[in-house]
Amino acid sequence: MEIKTVGVVGAGQMGAGIAQVFAQAGYEVLLNDINQEALDAGLARIAKGMRRMVERGKLDAESCEAALARLKGTTVLAELGPLDLIVESATENETIKNRIFAGLKEHLGSQTLLTTNTSSISITRLASLTDRPERFMGLHFMNPVPVMQLVELIRGIATDDATFQTVRKVVENLGKTHATAEDFPAFIVNRILLPMINEAVYTLYEGVGSVDSIDKAMKLGTNHPMGPLELADFIGLDTCLAIMHVLHEGLADTKYRPCPLLVKYVEAGWLGRKSGRGFYDYRGETPVPTR
């Protein structure tokens, strides 16, 4: 089938980025969030980001305004139901995701494909509670979405080939590159990335190095563009912890045990950039390590 209209659930950093790349690629996009303030902030973030691209010469003004005209917002989840493709990009919480798909169920068009931007949760399990597990799959974008080229495609056990091929074609139309992952906890990228971040937190927890020295060592010693603790703050420490829980519970291996210090930071509400404090304090002019 041909995808022309796309609904994105969740107007946070990931959802807004996903809505932006679809609008830029020529799709009619409806962005949803239950909170009007969050929705307005997401739409404003998209407009600001695209106009900055125009200023930098990476996008012409006409294309920018045309893309923004294809993008609308709504707080009514049911309005996404008739669209061709829905991308769920809410917080990394299985209960919330199931509630969203349940809320969409009676409003879906017969042609509608369902996808989730989950970074770790079982596609098969999420699909099993919908009315169309064969038309459901994982569509995992990397952060920040407008910049990162990779999209992970994950089939559930019931995903049919027509759904997979249609979504694969959509990814190509977005100008992205796909990697196919099996439906195992955290898929490919986060199966490798999050244990590294968790080990960096253990390195801090055990006093092997400070925040600054750990990030400096990985940036200069392994040529990473961002240190693991800085990256954790960028991702969100709550999201990092949620993925580590999925790995630990799903694979039953102690090597995936979340570091107690990561748990403490999340309990304190120090979630990284989005909350103003994490492994760095972002409330001043420049980030300052918190340990």
Task: Please give the positions annotated as active site.
Answer: 119, 140, 152, 190
Neighbours of 106 (CB within 10 A): 9
Q: Looking at this protein, which amino acid is placed at residue 60?
A: D
Pair 210, 204: CB distance under 8 Å: yes
CA distances from 265 to 18, 77, 147, 214 (A): 28, 33, 28, 17
Rounded (5°) CA angle 276-281-283: 55
Q: How big is the chain by its Cα radius of gyration, in Å?
A: 19
Pair 244, 194: CB distance under 8 Å: yes
Pair 31, 19: CB distance under 8 Å: yes
- For residue 89, give every residue at least 6 positions away whose Cβ sits within 8 Å of its Cβ, in sequence order, or none: 8, 9, 10, 12, 14, 15, 18, 116, 117, 141
In angstroms, the CA 82 to CA 21 distance is 21
